[in-house]
Amino acid sequence: MNRIIEKLKAPKKLLSIYFTAGYPKLDDTVGIIQSLENSGVDMIEIGLPFSDPLADGPTIQDSSTAALKNGMSSELLFNQLKNIRETVRIPLIVMGYFNPILQFGVEAFCQKCQEVGIDGLIVPDLPADVYNDSYKEIFQKHALINIFLITPQTSDERIRFIDCISEGFIYMVSSASVTGSQTGFGTEQEAYFKRIHAMQLNNPQIVGFGIKDKETFNQATLYAKGAIIGSAFIKMLTKKGTNGISTFINTLR
Amino acid sequence: MSYNVNDKGYYGEFGGAYIPEMLYPNIEELRQNYLKITAEPTFQEEFHALLKDYVGRPTPLYFAKRLSAKFNTKIYLKREDLNHTGAHKVNNTIGQILLAQRLGKTRIIAETGAGQHGVATATVCALMGIECVVYMGEVDIARQAPNVARMKMLGAKVVPAKSGSKTLKDATNEAMRDWINNPVNTHYIVGSVVGPHPYPDMVARFQAVVSEEIKWQLLEKEGRSNPDYVMACVGGGSNAAGAFYHYLEDENVKLIAVEAAGKGVHSGESAATSILGREGIIHGSKTLLMQTNDGQITEPYSISAGLDYPGVGPMHAHLYKTGRAEFIAITDDDAMTSGLELSQLEGIIPAIETSHALAVFNYKTFKPEDIVVINLSGRGDKDLDTYIKYFKL
Ligand SMILES: Cc1ncc(COP(=O)(O)O)c(C=O)c1O
């Protein structure tokens, strides 16, 4: 069974961490993944850096720029992850924009993901409709789950459509914003979390964008299955380096 | 073969809307409404009244006698430089502001490179009394000071884009991020035939007034509405799209798209997207773009900030791929020389973008009886500093 689906069955709120591959240092990828698993993280999103990350705020823009400057590429990431499944068991998801995947070749990219043991992909600028019409079979052939996003502006009708074509979980963007630009959750988020909860979707939801500490993690997971921390983790890496990982994760639980 | 957009938003294999889910409601709202709203008689009436009384349309189609004599062919200049604000860009911003009003939007955002589109957007926002925020790369803000000042005088807020290469593509990213952050009250006025569907088609339709006028003006002057050639410079491609629009399906009219070769197509400092680019996704559109093997978007170079974009609109990618249009790349030096030449032969100082199109006469020979229409997309006032430095005036 796909590791994501298995993990979603665990009777607890899931903590997922996003980081940008190749940041702070080019060769940190494997070490970061191992530290995260050892610290008790449930799932990891490995960010494939892109020159023009439209949906990201300054923190992830900067880590992406730095990673590319360090020399990160799709090819190199797959090389770094070659033996990752010898040591790591939690679900691994690659998050990347569509153009680098398109240039690698969608089929070749999916095949490489499967070879190294990636369980799913998040491609923010590959719309659900286009995926469903053109790429679904390739993803499925390589046992990859594609994760779709919903936002507070997504209509109920479209949420139902996305729920229908999802396997695994739905990535619930917490507010109308790019990554990293939120200062906490207010009544608006609460109403949105409740609205989605009340829809009784087939797929569990994991909340992302704006989760930065224990408080926001708890708020987000009151109604959802889990939450994803990205920018706050990158900021910690910038300040403390990879040695700060276990302390940071411990503060969240 | 059709050269127009299909109902799914594609020109052949190019186009579409490769956008994050956060932008889906905005793009969907536009897609469902743009044809309906722009077809309304009250919209058409207001659009054309503003183009006439505020912008100063129709712009003349001028027979350039001395230029024609020099190159031994018949050259007409479509004088978009005479528009209010000095370029074709305002045709689009007038259309989009009227659309935004009808969609109930109360805030406008835009990206700009040289500042021409930013000025055209700030202008229509002042006209309508709507809040305006323009994103502009930090590098461009430094090299286009007069246009930054114009936008500020017009009441717009100019926000520096500090990410990536700090130029037009990054300003576009910032505008899209602003839209993600403000999805309900804001309309994004995209400045060229780029971006996710329906933008390329919508902007092309607003610019189509250019070729609509060329048709009747040429009929008056030459007794035929179709020239042998239509030629225009291509940054994102909006002035070319406007000049080509009503001739797309008439293959007797040859289309020439002129890109910026910068310091030479293979110098590493160029913006000749059709030659240097490969298929991919930029700003929500599947098209040709300059990128590394790994799919990272690269920074183009041209002496003209308006042609300094690493992609090209999906319509132009399709025109290139199908061979419907001939693509020619012109260097900085050739463009500058032709800009000076037009100034001295016709008394018209063109924008450096436009000068690229004029330089084609040095490389391609036309027959004496050929009628060649060039879209004179803008005037050179904004480029005086560059002309001064280049020619040590
Ligand atoms: C005078 C002029 N011509 C051409 C362009 C290039 O844009 P497009 O290819 O969309 O016409 C610009 C852009 O700023 C411009 O100012």
Is residue B109 domain-shared with residue B222, that is, in the same domain? no
Which tokens go with B74? 């018949």
pLDDT at B142: 86
- Provide the 8-state DSSP code for A131: I
CA-based nearest residue to B254, from B357, B324, B312, B329 = B324
Mean pLDDT, range A211-228, rounded to an integer: 95
Is B165 within a domain? Answer: yes
Q: Indicate whether residue B313 lines ligand 1 (CB < 6 A).
A: no
Which residues lie closer than 8 Å to B266 by C-beta, 6 or more apart? none
Among B178, B203, B228, identify where a domain stops: B203
pLDDT at B378 over 90: yes
CATH number at residue B254: 3.40.50.1100
Q: Which amino acid does the sequence have at A157?
A: E
Question: Tokens 């905005």, residue?
Answer: B26
Q: How far is A214 from chain B (nearest CA, A)?
A: 24
**pLDDT tens, B86-145?**
999 999 999 999 999 999 999 999 999 989 999 999 999 999 999 999 999 998 898 788
* Bridge-based pairing state of the strands B74-79 and B107-112: unpaired
Torsion of CA A229, A231, A235, A241, to 10 degrees: 60
Give pTM, 2 decimals. 0.97
| Cα distance between residue A50 and residue B280, in whole Å | 13
Is residue B283 domain-shared with residue B374, that is, in the same domain? yes
pLDDT at A183 over 80: no
- Mean pLDDT for all residues in chain B: 97
pLDDT at A8 over 80: yes
| Cα distance between residue B300 and residue A173, in whole Å | 34
Mean pLDDT, range B192-196, rounded to an integer: 98
Is B178 within a domain? Answer: yes
Expressed as residue numbers, the domain containing B377 is 56-87+208-391
Is residue B165 domain-shared with residue B246, that is, in the same domain? no
Among B153, B176, B203, identify where a domain stops: B203
| Cα distance between residue B117 and residue B54, in whole Å | 17
Which tokens go with B122? 């700030």
Interface contacts A/B by beta carbons within 8 Å: 112
Among A28, A42, A56, A119, the one annotated catalytic: A56
Pick the residue of B177, B181, B290, B298 with the most A CBs within 10 A to test the interface with A by mutation.
Answer: B177
Is residue B298 domain-shared with residue B384, that is, in the same domain? yes
**pLDDT tens, B286-315?**
999 999 999 999 999 999 989 999 999 999
Residue bearing the CA closest to ligand 1, atom 14: B306
Question: Tokens 């803000």, residue?
Answer: B141
pLDDT at B174: 96
| Cα distance between residue B176 and residue B170, in whole Å | 10
What interface predicted TM-score (ipTM) does this complex get? Answer: 0.95
Cis-peptide into B314, omega within 30 deg: no
- Find the helix or strand (DSSP H, E) in which A130 lies: helix A128-130
Reduced to 3 states (helix: H, G, I; strand: E, B; else coil), residue A95 is: strand
Specify the length of chain B in residues: 393
Residue bearing the CA closest to ligand 1, atom 4: B353
| Cα distance between residue B92 and residue B201, in whole Å | 11
pLDDT at A112: 98
Substitution candidate for ligand 1 out of B353, B358, B379, B383 with most atoms within 8 A of CB: B353
Chain A partners of B109 at a C-beta cutoff of 8 Å?
none
Alpha-carbon distance values, B150 to B139, B141, B158 (Å): 17, 12, 10
Is residue B280 domain-shared with residue B381, that is, in the same domain? yes
Is residue B252 domain-shared with residue B299, that is, in the same domain? yes
Is residue B295 domain-shared with residue B312, that is, in the same domain? yes
Is residue B187 domain-shared with residue B282, that is, in the same domain? no
Is residue B188 domain-shared with residue B224, that is, in the same domain? no
Distance of CA B368 to the CA centre of its chain: 30
CA-based nearest residue to A59, from A211, A180, A183 = A180
CA-based nearest residue to A88, from A17, A183, A175 = A17
| Cα distance between residue B392 and residue B390, in whole Å | 6
Is B9 within a domain? Answer: no
Reduced to 3 states (helix: H, G, I; strand: E, B; else coil), residue A81 is: coil
Cis-peptide into B20, omega within 30 deg: no
Specify the length of chain A in residues: 253
Is residue B188 domain-shared with residue B140, that is, in the same domain? yes
Is B293 within a domain? Answer: yes
Is B40 within a domain? Answer: yes
Characterise B27 by phi-psi region: left (phi > 0), alpha (psi -120 to 50), beta (else): alpha
Q: How many domains does chain B have?
A: 2
Q: Are B90 and B84 in contact (CB under 8 A)?
A: yes
**pLDDT tens, B119-128?**
999 999 999 9
Chain B partners of A153 at a C-beta cutoff of 8 Å?
22, 24-25, 183-184
pLDDT at A185: 86
Is B219 within a domain? Answer: yes
Is residue B341 domain-shared with residue B370, that is, in the same domain? yes
| Cα distance between residue A147 and residue A163, in whole Å | 10
* Bridge-based pairing state of the strands A120-122 and B285-289: unpaired
List the end-to-end C-alpha distance of chain A, in Å, as a whole number.
27
For residue A49, the chain B residue with the least C-alpha distance is: B296
Is B12 within a domain? Answer: no
Q: Are B71 and B366 in contact (CB under 8 A)?
A: yes
pLDDT at A46: 98
Is B10 within a domain? Answer: no
Is residue B191 domain-shared with residue B242, that is, in the same domain? no
Reduced to 3 states (helix: H, G, I; strand: E, B; else coil), residue B252 is: coil
For residue A72, the chain B residue with the least C-alpha distance is: B294
pLDDT at A45: 98
pLDDT at A184 over 90: no
Among B171, B203, B235, identify where a domain stops: B203
